[in-house]
Amino acid sequence: MLTFSFLTLFPELLAPFAGEAILGKARERGLLHVNLVHLRDFSDNRHLKVDDTPYGGGAGMVIRVDVAERALASLPPADEVILLTPAGQPFTQAVAEELAQKAHLAFLCGRYEGFDARTEGLVTRELSIGDFVMMGGEAAAACVLEAVARLRPGVIGDPESHRTDSFSSGLLDYPEYTRPPEWRGQSVPEVLRGGNHGAVARWRREQALARTLARRPDLLPGAALTPQDTQTLLELGASAPQLQAWNAPPPPPPRRARRVKKNGGSEQSG
């Protein structure tokens, strides 16, 4: 069981995500637990205020550290206390895989100008979901919930799909097709309809490499490339210095040409 505790001023924003079909079923089956904690319950004033003006002046309000501290103290011990902030560590698939190993994750969702800077001393890490600024941490928390929960055993139907997901394999995922086989002049690639599993696997790997090279070459240094991948990348137009920078292994030795025998069989040339 993995417990997600979300400390927020807007628990109603996170409730639909936690109740979504797959996550809802995973909760019913006891694989996940979602705990929505209202920060206002930890205000110490009769107006239920949790924020105050910033020292030094300036626009906006800041959430008080003592409110965050009391809210966190109300929880059972968490393996990680995560502050969602644009200034945090970038949230990636590798971070999602790490978090999916834990038993209890607590998230502080900010609003306004965010939390008092001293809140950083109460957390184990700070996460950002990208180089942009949203109004609050709830959407960021929902992203982390979705990405982490689907990695837990039993949450999604086919665990094999994780293996080829974008980023898990170090590459972007290959393109997928379904019916109809022809649509507005565009056909599903013939290889996917031929039933040759080896050819399908080779085609998919080549497509994953081509997409990654074209769209996210920055991922290639972290991908576990094989000599055959190096050969494919060379054929796709990658240069030798690029391959060297990505630590790509040398391409496989060229196949020796087959010589056709007079009796119709073939033999290796040598």
Residues flagged as binding site for S-adenosyl-L-methionine: 110, 129-134
**Which alpha helices (H) appear in 64-153, and where do they start and end?**
65-73, 93-99, 138-149
Q: Is 76 a catalytic residue?
A: no
Q: How far is the CB of 115 from ligand SAM (least distance, A)?
A: 6
Is the previous residue joined to 180 through a cis bond, with omega within 30 degrees of 0? yes
Q: Is 150 a catalytic residue?
A: yes
Task: Write the DSSP string, 123-141.
Answer: -SEEEESSSS--S-SHHHH
Helix, strand and coil percent figures for the chain, each rounded to 5: 40, 20, 45
Q: Is 241 a catalytic residue?
A: no
Q: Give 117 or 257: the residue with its C-beta nearer to ligand SAM.
A: 117
Q: Of residues 54, 69, 86, 217, which has the active-site annotation?
A: 86
Q: Of residues 66, 79, 146, 165, which has the active-site annotation?
A: 165
Q: Which amino acid is at 227?
A: P
Phi-psi region of 171 (alpha: psi -120 to 50; beta: other; left: phi over 0): beta
Rounded Cα distance between 58 and 142, Å, is 30
Q: Is 113 a catalytic residue?
A: yes
Q: How far is the CB of 130 from ligand SAM (least distance, A)?
A: 5
Q: Give 93 or 226: the residue with its C-beta nearer to ligand SAM.
A: 93
The residues binding ligand SAM (CB under 6 A) are 84-87, 109-111, 113-114, 128-130, 132-137, 140
Q: How far is the CB of 140 from ligand SAM (least distance, A)?
A: 4
Residue ranges for the known binding site are 110, 129-134
Query: What are the residue numbers of the active site?
Result: 86, 113, 150, 165
